[in-house]
Amino acid sequence: MIEPSVAQAALSVLDIVVLEENADGFAAIGQIPDWFPRLFPDGDVRNAPYLAEFLTTVPGPGEQRYSGVWTERDGNGPDCGLEAWASQIDGHTVLLIHRLGEEFEVRRAALQQARETSLSYERLGKVTRDLADAKLQVEMRNREVERINQLKNEFLASMSHELRTPLNAIIGFSSLLAEESAGPLNAEQQTYVAHVARASRHLLDLINDILDLSKIEAGRLELARELFPLDDALNEVLYTVRPLARDKGVRLITGRSAGSQIFADRIRFKQILYNLLSNAIKFTPTTGEVRLDATATPELWTIAVTDTGIGIPREELDAIFQKFHQVGSGTKGIREGAGLGLAITKRLVEQHGGEIRAYSEPGLGSRFVVTLPQTVSRLEPAADLHADPMPAAPAVARPDVRVAVVEDNGANRALFEAMLKSVYPISVYENGAEALEAFRRQPPDVVLLDIALPGMDGIEVLRRMRAELPLRNIPVIAVSAHAMTGDRERFLAAGFDQYLAKPVADRAVLLAAIEPLCRRARAPLAS
């Protein structure tokens, strides 16, 4: 039997108050702890909403009911955790209330910790999902960009093809007219033809510039670097631009040249020089000067083009290398070109690992300085593969070599016929099926074959020729307005013996392509 005083002490230590229900409500058995009046100020636990709800259900005899944990405000202090049990003893409801002291805070802290951890996991999961979403978005965007680029490239290829096809006839026929191969021209007619030739070549330059820029921007322009004599490249470009300077009355001066080898893509290097020099001539008035200097140090090649032209306003100096930029008021109305030349030049220089700077004083002139790193300076000179080919055109007629032209465009058919008829017997065909039928009857010695033929394209015509014994060994030249990067390789890989991009501007180029193949075609007969 526990002494009441011992029981009271135990209740006090455990922070428990015991109340017994009577007619007036609930009264404490034994001592009332100090916290009780703070939590239940009016002394009646039935006025506390939580306990009032708990006590609406009276426990049965011998039954014990648990309230669960709830909180009450401890005066002005923090919330206090409580739990209660109700039971029935000798027909009386007895209520035992336990104040959760530190235990409540420990329980709350543990729960808080668990939930914060759970929230952290949720946030981590969300971040992971967001990252995955972002990655997916980026991938989708990349695919879209890729698709748009593909469409752009297809559009450019198509436009290039469609523009080159008529240009082939324009440039070719104006070249034939200028040669007076169809009869002499008077002075006025020669001037007109020269205008047609110049305008069409300008148009061709524009097409090439747009394609170049598109290739550079797509990262698809590959440089074929080699070691070659710098002076040779300078002379080749000077040879091309000298007539421009002469026509305009601009003095073209060559300063000190490095006289060394340069390691670069020869064609692109010449393009850089050509762009700078032709620009300088364009913006320099008559009696002005354009000067080209080239110097080399062990680290750098420096090419400078200086003119006494109209100059560039200071505020536009940075913008001149942007594509489609044309210097505004400073050009005094000179707006020829699409504003692509300098943009391409800058990108070509940068792709060589170099840089280009522009200096200018309006009214006094401009200076463009290109520096290229000497990445390879001790190599032996490479074979000069790019020396301007001066094709060895046949001087006399070759009635023994039958050349067939397969071309669906009437103007181009007529052009090739006109270019070749004085040298070779020519037969022309509008489509592949017609050509194959004729070849079977009488095989030609060389075939000029267009690619974009209606019905059966040039590649299919070639495939069928290679599959038929009498036609198998006939040399075939692809003559196509498909002139994008990779087209040459594609056609040569398909089995063509040679490839010529339209426009074929010069009869000599056409003859030079045919002649070696003629020799090959005749060789077996000779042996």
Partner 1 sequence: MPPLQKKICMAGSFAVGKTSLVRRFVESIFDERYQTTVGVKIDKKVVQADGQELTLLLWDLAGEDDLAQVRPAHLRGAAGFILVVDGCRSHTLETALSLERRITHETGPVPFVLALNKADLASGWEISEAAIDPLLRRGWTCVRTSARDGRGVEDLFLSLARKMLEAKE
Name the site residues for partner 1 (rule: CB under 8 A): 49-50, 53-54, 56, 67-71, 79, 81, 83, 104, 107-108, 111-112, 114-116, 118-119, 122
CB 69 → partner 1: shortest distance, Å? 3
Cβ-based nearer residue to partner 1, 67 or 412: 67
Q: Phi first, then psi: give them for residue 387, nearest 5 degrees.
A: -55, 135
β 251-254/289-296 pair status? parallel
Who's near 110: CB < 8 A, 6+ residues apart? none
Cβ-based nearer residue to partner 1, 115 or 152: 115
CB 136 → partner 1: shortest distance, Å? 17
Cβ-based nearer residue to partner 1, 120 or 191: 120
What is the C-alpha to C-alpha distance for residues 296 and 258, in angstroms, rounded to an integer?
5
**Positive or negative CA dihedral for 308, 310, 312, 314?**
positive
Record the tokens describing residue 164, joined without a space: 């080159």
Using alpha carbons, select from 253, 299, 309, 249 the residue that is nearest to residue 279: 309
Record the tokens describing residue 463, joined without a space: 């495939």
Task: Establish how many alpha carbons lie within 13 A of residue 146's alpha carbon, considering only the half-sphere containing its beta carbon.
Answer: 6
Using alpha carbons, select from 489, 458, 490, 503 the residue that is nearest to residue 476: 458
Who's near 364: CB < 8 A, 6+ residues apart? 308, 311
CB 140 → partner 1: shortest distance, Å? 20
**Positive or negative CA dihedral for 442, 412, 500, 392?**
positive
Cβ-based nearer residue to partner 1, 79 or 468: 79
What is the C-alpha to C-alpha distance for residues 415 and 428, in angstroms, rounded to an integer?
11
Cβ-based nearer residue to partner 1, 71 or 190: 71
CB 58 → partner 1: shortest distance, Å? 14
CB 302 → partner 1: shortest distance, Å? 54
Cβ-based nearer residue to partner 1, 68 or 184: 68
Using alpha carbons, select from 320, 338, 323, 352 the residue that is nearest to residue 221: 352
CB 84 → partner 1: shortest distance, Å? 11
CB 122 → partner 1: shortest distance, Å? 6
Cβ-based nearer residue to partner 1, 42 or 380: 42
Cβ-based nearer residue to partner 1, 80 or 370: 80
Task: Let me know: does 323 contact 343? Beta carbons within 8 Å.
Answer: yes
Q: Bridge partners of 369?
A: 304, 357
CB 130 → partner 1: shortest distance, Å? 10
Cβ-based nearer residue to partner 1, 49 or 470: 49
CB 59 → partner 1: shortest distance, Å? 13
Cβ-based nearer residue to partner 1, 112 or 150: 112
Q: How many residues does the chain have?
A: 527
Cβ-based nearer residue to partner 1, 22 or 120: 120
**Amino acid, res. 100:** L
CB 54 → partner 1: shortest distance, Å? 8
- DSSP string for 202-266: HHHHHHHHHHHHHHHHTT-----EEEEEHHHHHHHHHHHHHHHHHHHT-EEEE-----SEEEEEH
Task: Let me know: does 164 contact 501? Beta carbons within 8 Å.
Answer: yes
- DSSP string for 7-60: HHHHHHHTTEEEEEEETTEEEESSPPPTHHHHHSTTS-GGGSHHHHHHTTSPPP
Cβ-based nearer residue to partner 1, 92 or 107: 107
CB 104 → partner 1: shortest distance, Å? 7
Distance of CA 262 to the CA centre of its chain: 29
CB 32 → partner 1: shortest distance, Å? 23
CB 147 → partner 1: shortest distance, Å? 29
Task: Let me know: does 367 contact 389? Beta carbons within 8 Å.
Answer: no
Q: What are the residue ranges of helices labelled H in 249-384?
A: 266-282, 341-351
Cβ-based nearer residue to partner 1, 108 or 522: 108
